[in-house]
């Protein structure tokens, strides 16, 4: 029983990390839209695409991890969720550091 409860707690904490990634993506989108309006420009098409991918990717990775982990043990599901969080975090770092901020603006 203790293993089951601890697995649920860890799974919920990992799900909260996915939620944080979605909220951060929405915040980036809203912030860059506001910044582009303050600069008197708009977002470019590729900028909008990167920001929308930054919002959608955590949701997609979470769904894939849950589907792949269906029917497996709790440990395997937790590892899949943790690997998905690592993938999403790496993606967000790429968006933040590799793609120059000037490419978001038209």
Answer whether residue 1 shows pLDDT above 90: no
The whole-angstrom separation of Cα 65 and Cα 13 is: 15
pTM: 0.86
- pLDDT of res. 20: 95
From the number of C-beta atoms within 10 Å of its C-beta (0-12, 13-18, 19+), residue 101 rates as exposed
H or E segment to which residue 79 belongs = helix 74-97
Share of the chain above pLDDT 90, in %: 50
Answer whether residue 46 shows pLDDT above 80: yes
- pLDDT of res. 59: 96
């Amino acid at each position: 029983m203790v293993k089951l409860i601890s697995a649920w707690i860890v799974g919920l904490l990992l799900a909260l990390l996915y939620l944080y990634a979605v909220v951060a993506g929405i915040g980036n989108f809203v912030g860059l839209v506001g910044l582009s309006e303050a600069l008197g420009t708009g977002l470019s098409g590729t900028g909008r695409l990167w920001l929308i991918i930054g919002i959608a990717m955590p949701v997609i990775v979470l769904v894939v991890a849950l589907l792949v982990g269906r029917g497996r043990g709790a440990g395997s599901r937790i590892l899949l969720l943790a690997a998905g969080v690592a993938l999403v975090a790496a993606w967000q770092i790429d968006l933040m550091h590799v793609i120059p901020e000037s490419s978001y603006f038209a």
